Structure 1
């Protein structure tokens, strides 16, 4: 397995500014998507440096009607000291992502279940995917769900992204996006609707990825505080590191 880092993870957004200290990602097509509008630090900033960049990003977002700021810290560096105190005092949400990778040959076998049908998204079932994702994305607000619909359509036309759905006894039950690059494929937005969980659908979606790209390394990021990461460990994914994310949303 080639050495996989967070640099191999796809970022939806354009680098609008870069220097020795950080990269600034911006995605004007979906300003409300926090994961596409943020600053990624190359080195752990001092408190003084952070405040300077914080002010820059806040002003940049204000001019574009954005009510959040978000920062990613370098991989495998923990928060500590006065920066950590400042972030907590200023009401930042502090979380972390974990990076995992696996060779498809190491993914466990999955029991066949005739009730589960995995389908590539095509012109014929695209609207089914859009409706399914819209209902799930309403948890983040109607405007986010609406804009996400436009993103799904754009990604449907992207040759490097494959959209896949799972059906259980004919009902739409889950989905995953597959982001394809030269040496890796990334599992993104792996989701099984609550009423269909614990039926093996998530494993079948992953098995589809493994079978479709047997010669690539499969990668993904998981929320370090959520339970799915425990499933990935049991499925033989290799843990490769972590990265802190700092986010603050301003009330209108």
Structure 2
């Protein structure tokens, strides 16, 4: 079995510049999406190298009316003390994500529930999916939520993308995006309506994918400081590595 890395995680955006030190991602269709507009380092920069790239990205983003700076650092490497000090002194939010994988046979079986129905999104229920995600995305601002609607509609027509919707007692309750590749199935953007969380909806969404792709490796990325990672660990996902990132919003 091929071992997944962060390179197997989908990045929405185009590489518009690449050199021996980093890749520069840009996504003009959604300039406000931080995870699509950033610099991804291939090798850990020194503070001086970081400042140089920071100046470049700031000038580039200002030309496109973007107010954020985001940098991702090499997989399984923590920035050194000098770089961390510079990031802290310059108002960057520094965090990390974690990569997990599971074989569907290892996922703990989720009992069926008459209250929860999980379905693949097709044309007839696309509006339910879009509406529920819009409500969830509004916490990041109306502009982001509206742009996400366009992205969801574009992905819906992509053969490499599948969307999944959960209903609770007949009402839209949870959504999930699934990215299909030759080697892996990636779970992304799993969200459950806040008012009905902790009712097993997230587990049922995952079980749907485990059943559908029972012979594939399932992968996902979790926030390294979020409680969701603890749920994945309890569900037998295997930890495979970490990746540091820095974000500043001016």
TM range (shorter): over 0.9
Could you tell me how far apart the structure 2 residues matched to 1:100 and 1:126 are? 29
Deviation at 1:215, TM superposition (A): 1.3
1:197-240 CA-to-partner distances (Å, cap 9, x unmatched) read 11111111000011111111000000000001001001110000
Deviation at 1:3, TM superposition (A): 1.2
Unaligned runs of 5+ in 2: none
Is 1:89 the counterpart of 2:63? The answer is no
Could you tell me how far apart the structure 2 residues matched to 1:82 and 1:188 are? 33
Task: Specify the alignment match of 2:115 in structure 1.
Answer: 115
Which runs of 4 or more aligned residues in structure 1 lie more than 3 Å from their structure 2 counterparts after TM superposition?
none
Is 1:55 the counterpart of 2:55? The answer is yes
Task: Specify the alignment match of 1:33 in structure 2.
Answer: 33
- Map 1:1-252 to 2 at 5 A: 1-250=1-250
Unaligned runs of 5+ in 1: none
1:156-178 CA-to-partner distances (Å, cap 9, x unmatched) read 10110000000000011001111
Give the secondary structure class of the aligned counterpart of 1:166: strand
User: What TM-score, normalized by structure 2, do the two folds share?
Assistant: 0.99
Give the secondary structure class of the aligned counterpart of 2:10: coil
Give the secondary structure class of the aligned counterpart of 1:125: helix
Alignment coverage as a number of residue pairs: 250
Could you tell me how far apart the structure 2 residues matched to 1:80 and 1:122 are? 47
Give the secondary structure class of the aligned counterpart of 1:144: helix
Greater CA drift, 191-200 or 19-28? 191-200
Could you tell me how far apart the structure 2 residues matched to 1:2 and 1:207 are? 23
Could you tell me how far apart the structure 1 residues matched to 2:107 and 2:57 are? 41
Give the secondary structure class of the aligned counterpart of 2:70: strand
- Root-mean-square deviation (CA), in Å? 0.7
Deviation at 1:142, TM superposition (A): 0.6
Could you tell me how far apart the structure 1 residues matched to 2:21 and 2:108 are? 41
Could you tell me how far apart the structure 2 residues matched to 1:198 and 1:161 are? 27
